[in-house]
Homo-oligomer: A and B are copies of this chain.
């Protein structure tokens, strides 16, 4: 390993945990797991794409370290975040002879992490979860912070828990095999951190521009570690999304979720819809006089530089607004948005007029 391990510590009292970030540290998985406590059994949960790439390797390393290891694989894709998948995994974990000291090792992207996390949170009333995210999106977002869950047929992430991992191992080398489009989609969430929390980081991303797509180890390590630290700062202050602070992470996501739902979750990757959603939210903030146009333009330029879509798709905008009214972030029927007030700072804004929302959407299609 040429690049040293960076450790981001998520300070959550008795639920605190380390995120270890390096280039090539997957080979140290048994040591990282063993550093938590003596482990005698692990259940590796992965998907059929990641299994041959990384999860089988993880299982081999764990077995070499004397840990009884079972690999359970689900089909790749969002459809696996289902009650049926959870039920099958619970049964398989039981059949593998797991007990309360068994640890679940999630190796994969957001779907695997959310599903495996939910299963870990609920098997035997909760067993330890070790996250090994293998997509950029999962490394900078979903593997950190403890949100786990599955979808109901009509509502994404509607069933779940806050279940903090015991540790997160991030090997940025695994991003080498990530398809270009998925890597770009992950960059949308990276850029989001700059907009909502860290103007300096946003400027650094601008200075890299399209070079971000080259995936240099040092760039990846810095980028991922910074995002994890920023997310950890938020999660430490509002673990269960109760004070509204954690909601800042949802910048662009109210628009994003409506766009994903309206397009049947097939047209866009999540990060792509986030990119479009951030620009909608930014335009909305402009309309409300909270920012000037230059901030929207800077986001547009950076998102475009890394190849992300920026146009609202050709769907009925009223339908998008209706879908937003069903978003979990609505409380007691009130529509709320996370909107920037300057680069690196956002606020939760309630009581936004529908006309302004429609206008923010409309400009995106021109």
Contacts and interface: CB of A to CB of B under 8 A. Distances in A.
A99 B62 CA distance: 42
Nearest to A157: B125
Interface string A128-162: 00000000000000000001010011110111111
A28 interface: no
B125 A160 contact: yes
Chain A: interface secondary structure? Answer: mixed
A154 B101 CA distance: 20
Contacts of A157: 125
A124 B158 contact: yes
Interface in A154-196: 154-155, 157-162
Interface residues on A, range: 20 to 34
B94 A160 contact: no
B161 A94 contact: no
A153 B158 CA distance: 24
A345 B45 CA distance: 42
A144 to B, nearest CB: 16
A79 to B, nearest CB: 16
Interface of A: 40, 83, 87, 90-91, 94, 99-101, 121-126, 147, 149, 152-155, 157-162, 240-241, 328, 330-332
